[in-house]
Chain A
Amino acid sequence: MGLMLLAALAGAWLAPHDPLAMNLGQGFQGPSWSHLLGTDALGRCLLSRLLAGARYSLGLSAAVVAATMSLGAGVGSLAGMAGGKVDMLLARLIDLFLAVPPLVMVLGMIGGLGPSLGNLLLALMLSYWAPYARLARSMVIAGREKEFVEASRIAGSKGLALFRRCLLPQLLPALLVLASLEAGMMVAINSGLSFLGIGVQPPTPEWGVMLYDARLALSSHPWALVPPAAALCMAVLSFNLLGEGLRDALQVRKVSRF
């Protein structure tokens, strides 16, 4: 199982991570079918766009996941470590953010701020951090009581050092599992938003944008749909497999997307 998912992940990643080896970002070629994956309605090479788009579809999602994980874990850990009033306040805040469908928040924020890459990143970050926070907080609270933490505390480490040495190693596997599961979702959401015209804007090559372009000519030239769709599915699948494999390998139990 582990091997299989590593292969799946590598497969999805090795190919797109060649953008340097590629020379055509988005050349406006004539609409001929002599390109490996064909061309789109404007004659741009699909393969090149696909590979270049990977940077946006995958990279952006990865960045968002990293950011949300850090933010969420930070808040959650703080809440768990501090306890008392700070914890209560932060816990309510986490609940609040968990109570609202994040997609709606993203739509609202982008609606207010205007669609752009930076705003997209911000909106996604601010909407999706809560699950990490909840996980971090509950793990910190549970971990605090354990004996080895007590032992460390008696030995003299305090506060931040205590956290870093004892709790963080416990926290990381669970967070990573959650992150990889969420990453798959994030790729889908990212592309979905771009498809709607709310995320990355055309003519930037991004898989969602490519799907949008393809949609316009759906009845006559359906082929343009296939490369980005396939890429998206593979990416999401790989992340999911990665997450699940990690979960089994690291024996993390309490992590689920809800």
Chain B
Amino acid sequence: MRLRQLALRLLFLAVTVPGICFFSFAIMEMAPGSPEEMLIMQAGIGRDPTAVAELRAKLGLDRPWWERFGLWLAGAARGDLGRSVTTGESVGRMVAKRLPATLELTFTAWLLALAGALPMGALAALRRGGWTDGLLRALALTQVSLPGFVLGLGLLWVFGFWLGWVPVLGGGVLRGLWLPALCLAAAMTGVYSRMVRERFLEVLGQDYILLARAKGLGPWAVLRRHVLKNALIPLTTLWGMSLGYLLGGAVVIEVIFSWPGVGVLAVRAIADRDYPVIQAYVLLVALCFTLINLAVDLGYLFLDPRVRRRGLLRNG
């Protein structure tokens, strides 16, 4: 029953989201030394006990943690995520300014990965055993093995400094985006092209393909009508989920290419112990990821009629 699966999924969401919120909140709790001491020291006032006590009361930090969690949660729901400890800006605004850039990068990389993996995998499967296959598989293996940031550094040097083709710092959508997106997409392309290849091989070996050919359908028609759908639909869940993983991986790429996104913000915040920013980053990214997964699962429910009957098996 589709409804039941939907309900289960939403229930799961009801557990994950608070979990994420709590985790984000807990980040500040984990800090060695109490938060108010930390704030005071960062303000440069020195550890004056009266000041600490005042600040404590003012920030409501002397109340039990569940109250504080509630307050924080209420603030977050309103969009008020506190102020950056280093710059004093509203964290909400800081993140909002940079989020689009990160989303741009991640989304582009995601699409690129698909655009690359599909033809690679399909071609390798169709030419199985030949040198095209071998070459493409080797390429996939290299893509998987080269850590994105190593690739990034290398390509940045080649294209940025040596050839001078690419602006080295940021650079807007058209000129500055394609190299970082490519690097981010690289590993994913490697993984996916192999999966596509496997799926294609599986499907191509099925009887109904033989039947279609026997009926007289030309190879392209067979491809379009039977192979593509059957091979690819099971992969969509993974492809969708990978968007979330890319969100995380974007951090390093952003730093290398000085891409003005949310990841760079987070890294700096960690170095500066800017807790509100870190919390906001974790909260936002984790939530995005969860939402994306939800969307993907739901989409899959609609795409594959078999799933509706069998039920979603998330645990493999």
- Measuring CB to CB, which residues of chain A are less than 8 angstroms from any residue of chain B? 91-92, 95-96, 99-105, 107-115, 134, 137-138, 184, 187-188, 191-192, 195-198, 211, 214-215, 218-219, 222, 225, 229, 232-233, 236-237, 240-241, 254, 257-258
Residue of B nearest to A207 (CB): B150
Contact bitstring B16-46, A, C-beta under 8 A = 1, else 0? 1001100110111111100000000000000
B266 part of interface (Cβ distance < 8 Å): yes
Of B63-71, B121-129, B248-256, B303-311, the stretch lying at the interface with chain A is B248-256
Set of chain B residues within 8 Å of A219, measured between Cβ atoms: 161
Set of chain A residues within 8 Å of B259, measured between Cβ atoms: none
Bound: A102/B19 CA distance, A: 14
Given contacts A111-B278, A218-B153, contact A198 B267 (CB under 8 A): yes
Chain B 176-221 interface residues, beta-carbon cutoff 8 Å to A: 191
Set of chain A residues within 8 Å of B20, measured between Cβ atoms: 100
Set of chain B residues within 8 Å of A214, measured between Cβ atoms: 153
Give the distance to chain A from B314, nearest Cβ to Cβ, in Å: 7
Apart from the given pairs A111-B266, A192-B149, A222-B157, 17 other A-B contacts in the complex at a CB distance below 8 Å: A100-B23, A105-B286, A107-B248, A108-B281, A111-B278, A113-B31, A137-B315, A184-B145, A191-B149, A192-B148, A218-B157, A233-B145, A233-B150, A236-B145, A236-B147, A237-B142, A237-B145
Interface of A is mostly: helix
Q: Can you list 21 contacts pairing A with B, beta carbon distance less than 8 Å?
A: A92-B15, A95-B12, A95-B315, A99-B12, A99-B293, A100-B289, A101-B248, A104-B248, A104-B285, A104-B286, A105-B23, A107-B278, A109-B30, A115-B271, A138-B315, A192-B147, A192-B252, A196-B251, A218-B157, A232-B150, A257-B191
Set of chain B residues within 8 Å of A232, measured between Cβ atoms: 147, 150
Bound: A222/B247 CA distance, A: 29
Set of chain A residues within 8 Å of B316, measured between Cβ atoms: 134, 138, 254
Question: Which of B244, B248, B271, B275 meets A197, CB within 8 Å?
Answer: B271
Given contacts A107-B251, A138-B315, A258-B241, contact A101 B285 (CB under 8 A): yes
Bound: A195/B271 CA distance, A: 13
Q: Are B153 and A225 in contact (CB under 8 A)?
A: yes
Please provide the 8 A-B residue pairs with the shortest distance between their CB atoms, ordered closest to farther. A112-B30, A103-B248, A188-B147, A111-B278, A112-B27, A237-B145, A108-B282, A101-B248
Q: Are B267 and A196 in contact (CB under 8 A)?
A: yes
Q: Are B16 and A99 in contact (CB under 8 A)?
A: yes
Tally the A-B contacts, defined by beta carbons under 8 Å.
149
Residue of B nearest to A239 (CB): B145
Residue of A nearest to B13 (CB): A99
Bound: A215/B144 CA distance, A: 23
Given contacts A218-B153, A225-B153, contact A101 B161 (CB under 8 A): no
Chain A CB within 10 Å, residue with most, of B16, B142, B281, B289? B16
Give the distance to chain A from B279, nearest Cβ to Cβ, in Å: 8
Question: Which of A109, A215, A222 meets B256, CB within 8 Å?
Answer: A215
B53 part of interface (Cβ distance < 8 Å): no
Q: Are B27 and A109 in contact (CB under 8 A)?
A: yes
Set of chain A residues within 8 Å of B271, measured between Cβ atoms: 115, 197-198
Given contacts A95-B314, A134-B316, A195-B149, contact A229 B31 (CB under 8 A): no
Residue of B nearest to A97 (CB): B19
